[in-house]
């Protein structure tokens, strides 16, 4: 009986999704025996089990009039409205191919299912802690593996460098190969490292230890080795946002400290540029190498074309699923999640998606200042930090739309909401499920 009390099928299912998601590249490369990607099938299968469990619980709760917390009701109501409107749009308005529509619905909404699942079935804090620890542990293993990729790039088989059917990521005229840890491309992996960095930075600010500092350094260097400019900016964003949340007060001393940190970073950046301006790393991050110049030109061309199309069809857009990972011949933009969102859904529906994202961010911000629970403080701070990063980076890249980052993002927010409900139940004795 004691063993059964300790066991949670729901927590086991979420952990299985995390394992399948973070290791899907390995499953795809080494366990796929046809054109079907085993990693994708496994993740989708596990998410289908979550959806079935959710639907059964909703039917039960309606029949027996089970009381649900108002925060959960807002999330469920918002996602239900988005689902109905998106389904109606793709059935009645959109003219892009049907497979794109189905995959777009999956990528935009079905992959948010863990957000609905975790707060409902995680009834004890230990399930949240263990799930979070598993995610971080596998994430750090992938960071270590990325070092292995970078150092031994010329010796490793292609199956250990990139996902099946993809080319390695490097720079013209050099032997450098950018690591991916088989999470996706370098942009997706570097953005995943920002999520890890955000959590450990939040942990470090509340528990200053050499262990946390070493892990932070390990993650930061792995991020730099991807040579991704947005991720470098992301490290800086996370540091400043985290410091403001932890110590920010409208006082002269705080303003002087932040100014001093900014001045130090400027001096270090100028020093690196003066003494190492001919290095690939400096040229890459200042946009002076040929790869960056070509990338910039392509970005601006796609942005201009996208804005022009939106001006012509502001309400309908191109169609659900036409621009993201599921996009085909009608894809207009490969980088820039916000433009992809509005191109797929149009201005009105796209704005509703944006409102939902902002609402989640606002909840995390309010919860950060409300709670005294250390775990919840760290969850909120890390979520706020990498949300600010994704919000800024999504003007230029689509890392947020990558399956790994997107699902992990909502798993972490689900853990945050779950901890809120558990804490609320402890304080008020409210049966939130």
pTM of the model: 0.90
pLDDT 10s digits, 276-315: 555 655 666 666 666 666 666 676 777 777 788 788 888 8
Residue 215 lies inside a defined structural domain of this protein: yes
What's the pLDDT tens digit per position in 293-302? 666 667 677 7
pLDDT band (50, 70, 90) for residue 1: very low
Using the CB atoms, write b or e for 67-103: b if 16+ within 10 Å.
ebbebbeebbebbeebeeebeebbeeebebbeebbeb
Q: Are 219 and 200 in contact (CB under 8 A)?
A: yes
Give me the pLDDT at residue 429, please: 62
Residue 215 structure tokens: 């892990």
Q: What is the pLDDT of residue 3?
A: 41
Would residue 335 count as lying in a domain? yes
Mean pLDDT of 150-164: 89
Instruction: For residue 159, give every residue at least 6 positions away whose Cβ sits within 8 Å of its Cβ, in sequence order, or none.
Output: 29, 30
> Which tokens belong to 136?
């971080």
| pLDDT tens digits, 361-417 | 999 999 999 999 999 999 999 999 999 999 999 988 889 999 999 999 999 999 999
Would residue 264 count as lying in a domain?
yes
What residues have CB less than 8 Å from 181, skipping those under 6 apart?
A: 25, 142, 143, 145, 146, 149, 189, 192
Output the pLDDT for position 307.
80
SS (H, E, C) 71-86: HHHHHHHHHHHHHHHH
Gap between the Cα atoms of 433 and 61, Å rounded: 9
| Cβ(104)–Cβ(321) below 8 Å | yes
Does residue 292 belong to any structural domain of this protein? yes
Name the residue with tokens 């909502």. 410
Q: Which two tokens stand for residue 117?
A: 């699942």
DSSP-assigned states of every residue in 380-424: HHHHHHHHHHHHHHTTT--GGGSHHHHHHHHHHHHHHHHHHHHHH
Q: Please check whether residue 242 lies inside any domain of the structure.
A: yes
- Per-residue buried b or exposed e for 29-65, using 16+ beta carbons within 10 Å of the residue's own CB: beeeeeeebbbbebbeebbeebeebbeebeeeeeeee
pLDDT at 322 over 90: no
Residue 315 has a pLDDT of 84
Q: How far apart are CA 176 and CA 292, in angstroms?
A: 15
Provide the pLDDT for residue 301. 77
| 232 touches 224 (CB < 8 A) | yes
What is d(CA 41, CA 23) in angstroms, rounded to the nearest whole number?
13
Phi-psi region of 272 (alpha: psi -120 to 50; beta: other; left: phi over 0): alpha
Per-residue pLDDT, averaged over 193-197, amounts to 97
Q: Which domain holds residue 216?
A: 2-428
Picking from 295, 266, 273, 303, the residue whose alpha carbon sits closest to that of residue 178 is 295
Name the packing angle between helices 125-151 and 210-224 (round to 10°): 50
**Which parts of 152-289 fold into alpha helices (H)?**
186-206, 210-224, 229-247, 252-276, 280-285
Evaluate whether 36 touches 171 at the Cβ level (below 8 Å): no
Do residues 314 and 347 lie in contact, with contact meaning Cβ atoms separated by under 8 Å?
A: yes
Look at 25-34, 91-100, 163-172 and tell me which has the smallest mean pLDDT.
Answer: 163-172
* 111 occurs within a structural domain: yes
How many domains, in total, are found in the chain? 1
Q: Decide if 433 is inside a domain.
A: no
Show Cβ contacts of residue 146 under 8 Å, excluding neighbours closer than 6 positions: 179, 180, 181, 189, 222, 225, 226
**79: its two tokens:** 């996602």
How high is the pLDDT of residue 181?
Answer: 94
Provide the token pair at 148.
């292995």
SS3 category, 177: strand
In a domain, 279, yes or no: yes
């Amino acid at each position: 009986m004691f063993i059964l009390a300790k066991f949670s099928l729901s927590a086991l299912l979420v952990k299985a999704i995390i394992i399948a998601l973070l290791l899907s590249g390995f499953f795809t490369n080494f366990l796929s025996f046809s054109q079907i990607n085993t990693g994708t099938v496994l993740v989708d299968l596990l998410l289908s089990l979550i959806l079935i469990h959710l639907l059964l619980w909703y039917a039960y709760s309606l029949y027996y009039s089970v009381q649900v917390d108002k925060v959960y009701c807002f999330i469920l109501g918002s996602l239900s409205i988005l689902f109905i409107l998106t389904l109606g749009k793709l059935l009645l308005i959109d003219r892009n191919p049907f497979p794109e529509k189905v995959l777009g619905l999956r990528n935009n909404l079905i992959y948010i299912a863990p957000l609905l699942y975790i707060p409902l079935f995680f009834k004890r804090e230990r399930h949240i802690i263990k799930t979070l620890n598993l995610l971080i542990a596998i994430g750090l293993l992938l960071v270590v593996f990325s070092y292995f990729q970078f150092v031994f790039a010329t010796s490793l088989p292609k199956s250990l460098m990139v996902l099946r059917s993809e080319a390695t990521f490097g720079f013209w005229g050099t032997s450098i190969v950018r690591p991916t840890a088989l999470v996706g491309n370098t942009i997706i992996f570097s953005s995943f490292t920002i999520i890890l960095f955000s959590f450990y930075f939040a942990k470090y600010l509340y528990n200053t230890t050499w262990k946390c500092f070493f892990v932070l350094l390990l993650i930061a260097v792995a991020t730099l080795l991807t040579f991704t400019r947005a991720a470098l900016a992301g490290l800086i964003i996370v540091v400043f946002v985290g410091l403001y949340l932890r110590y920010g007060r409208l006082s002269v001393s705080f303003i002087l400290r932040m100014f001093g940190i900014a001045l130090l970073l400027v001096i270090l950046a100028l020093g690196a540029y003066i003494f190492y301006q001919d290095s690939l790393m400096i040229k890459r991050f200042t946009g002076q190498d040929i790869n960056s110049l070509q990338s910039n030109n392509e970005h601006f061309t796609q942005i201009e074309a996208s804005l022009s199309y939106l001006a012509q069809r502001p309400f309908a857009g191109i169609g659900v699923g036409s621009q993201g990972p599921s996009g085909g011949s009608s894809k207009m933009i490969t980088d820039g999640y916000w433009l992809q969102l509005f191109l797929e859904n149009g201005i009105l529906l796209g704005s509703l998606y944006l409102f939902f994202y902002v609402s989640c961010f606002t909840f995390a911000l309010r919860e950060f200042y409300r709670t005294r629970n250390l775990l919840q403080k760290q969850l909120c701070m890390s979520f706020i930090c990498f949300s600010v990063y994704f919000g800024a980076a999504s003007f230029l890249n689509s890392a947020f739309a990558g399956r790994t980052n997107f699902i992990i993002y909502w798993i972490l927010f689900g853990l945050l909401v779950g901890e809120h409900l558990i804490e609320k139940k402890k304080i008020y004795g409210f049966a939130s499920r």
